[in-house]
């Protein structure tokens, strides 16, 4: 099957000529693209979904039953990403806390130093007693 690619295509629903980027891929068609443009497909789906809740539920259940491996792999991937993100947040938080601790210690040393300079006489007198 030879698939020819052109720069544009006519949507079979709205009849407008649109660039091929406006159509989804469908390898079963001779040109490799859907017959409806993405906008028309979206409008059709908007109308179909509310009027077919049972069919949608049935299709979803069928897909989930057939794709347990994909679902499990996706869940594991999300868990791993969450673990990595949590670990990264923890590292960042710990670094910020360490930095803040150093800053507090530095401020405390500066206050102590200022106090000693301002109260040198008082401190020396207390030490002599």
Q: Is residue 35 assigned to a domain?
A: yes
Q: Does the pTM of the predicted model rise above 0.85? A: no
Q: Is residue 1 assigned to a domain?
A: no
Per-residue pLDDT of the chain (129 residues; tens, 9 = 90+): 445 556 899 999 999 999 999 999 999 999 999 999 999 999 999 999 999 999 999 999 999 999 999 999 999 999 999 999 999 999 999 999 999 999 999 999 999 999 999 998 888 888 877
How many structural domains comprise the chain? 1
Give me the pLDDT at residue 21, please: 95
Q: Is residue 3 assigned to a domain?
A: no
Q: Residues 6 or more apart from 26 whose CB is under 8 A from it?
A: 32, 33, 34, 35
Give me the pLDDT at residue 125, please: 84
39-47: long-range contacts, CB 8 A cutoff, minimum separation 24: 39/14, 40/11, 40/13, 40/14, 44/13
């Amino acid at each position: 099957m030879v698939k020819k690619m052109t720069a544009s295509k006519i949507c079979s629903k709205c009849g407008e000529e649109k660039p091929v980027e406006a159509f989804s891929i469908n390898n079963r068609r001779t040109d490799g693209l859907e017959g409806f443009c993405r906008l028309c497909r979206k409008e059709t789906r908007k109308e179909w979904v509310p009027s077919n809740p049972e069919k949608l539920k049935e299709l979803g259940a069928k897909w989930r039953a057939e794709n347990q491996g994909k679902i499990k792999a996706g869940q594991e991937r999300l868990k791993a990403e969450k673990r990595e993100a949590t670990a990264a947040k923890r590292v960042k938080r710990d670094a910020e806390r360490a930095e803040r601790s150093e800053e507090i210690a530095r401020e405390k040393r500066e206050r102590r130093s200022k106090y000693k300079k301002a109260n040198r006489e008082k401190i020396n007198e207390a030490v002599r007693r």
